[in-house]
Structure 1
């Protein structure tokens, strides 16, 4: 029996194309049929036979199980009969199984195809390198951008400093020019005053020369009218010393009159020359006076422009002073608070002094009362 049992533990179908989908084992385990076909096993226990197929073969599976359910009692103790019964049942089961084999095969093929064609996890590893490269490029671009921004800021700061230095130099030069123009303005005012004084002096001289010309014309008229007549007296004989003295005086007077005539003629010539020179100077003096009169007007125009510039500069100075005063309001408040604190400290010191004086007077009064009471006690003791 053992040999027969071991020999018939595995039963194969004699029908061609069955592919070994139905197999019995004495061990009680079974395997599902695969999609590859061939001779594979389907385990059936000793008490029942279980057929595994697709869900569409549910009716066949139920009929097959029902057929084998009645033969459960045949499997107990009589294995030869059981094997014969199975052999007789195998063709019937195969005939009933064949209509369901092709749909199950198609379904298995479709399942395999869908498993193969199912979407799997994509491999994005080749993108990681590009992402890292792009990140490196972005970091490099950001650093380069920050460097460029820093360079631009430095360049702007340098430009601002250069502009500040240029404006400061221009301001210093303008201040120097303004100070020089102020000095020139002062010099021009002094020169204008001097010119006014000179013009007044020249006017006085011109009036004096006009008067002098009138005097010269009067003297010329007098010189034309002067006639010197000398009567030749007969030769006198000095009879007496007094007569001789008179003759000598007459000769002296004649000589003196001759000298006076020569001096008068020389003086008249000099006066004529001076009058001609003054007349020539008076001809050119109006042009000079006009030029001198025009020069103060130009100087006044320059003075007005300088005064306007000074006013504008004073306005800018006032604005800057206002700004600085607004900035210095904080220290002003601090100084006022410090003054208040100093006043409070002085008040507290004064109060302390008053309290000290009061305490001193109180101590002195207390000492005086003690001194007054001590003699009284001494008298009481006596």
Structure 2
């Protein structure tokens, strides 16, 4: 990026990077950009030279055409993946750069006008005692300009590297997503092919078993056919001898061919009958196996249902027994409480007996208890009668009355 400050005739260096001061003005250039006299405004950056209408990039004076370079230098490898996205990205970047250029041109024009106004008001010619020889500052200004140019170029290269790295990362990310999708598709196809291979293996084993059984059956049929053929040949040989003795003019070859054809037909018919019988028996066995399987499944379901019902009944019985046990425990606790109460009553009575024993008065007490069939005490009643007698020390009468059956 470069800024140009000038006043008066706006004369800029004839070659990029060289300063020139005229009539109080100053110019700064960067990169490979310069402007010929008569140009309205210009802006340049290290990525290339971008100019508006009326601006030019030349080594000397005169007008020329704008040149745009540096954007597509390292993008050749990325265009192969997705050219549309890359070109759209580059177009967006170019548009943003052009907008930035126009903004800076307007700011440059405004600054030039302000500097020109300042020089007109507060220039060196208005300050007495100051000379106009600035040659001693040219070397320092030149060094600073070179440093600015180098730093600007370095920053621009870093920005370009960052952009290239970002685009490369996006490219690799897109490739990774594509490869991941292909990998998942391959895994799904592999799993499907494995299932198909297992099914084919099972089918091959079944076919091998069928082939072995059919081979054994074929060997058995061939053996039977050979035995039957041998027996028939022996029988036909005797007949031939007899016929030859009786009628020598008979053609034995024709007879043998006819017999061979008949026996071949008979063997073929036997083979077909054997195959039909085999298939019929196989179908009947398969049907029987299916029926047995269904009956066994039905029996198993019935057995499971019966056992479930029995288990439910047992659980109900267990619940009833637990309720009875809880009731018995409650009754036992009540009887225990009554027994404790009776023991307390007994202790009280014994204390009263001891108390009355110390006195001369005698009490006749009658205790009436109600008992159930198990011998448990249901109720207790005590009757006391006072007598004035010194001879009778203590008389206690107990009467147990059995309770009625509950």
TM normalised by structure 1 equals: 0.28
Give the greater-gyration-radius structure (CA): 1
Looking at secondary structure, tell me which structure has more strand per residue.
2
Looking at secondary structure, tell me which structure has more helix per residue.
1
TM normalised by structure 2 equals: 0.27
Q: RCO greater where, 1 or 2, for CA within 8 Å and sep 6 or more?
A: 2
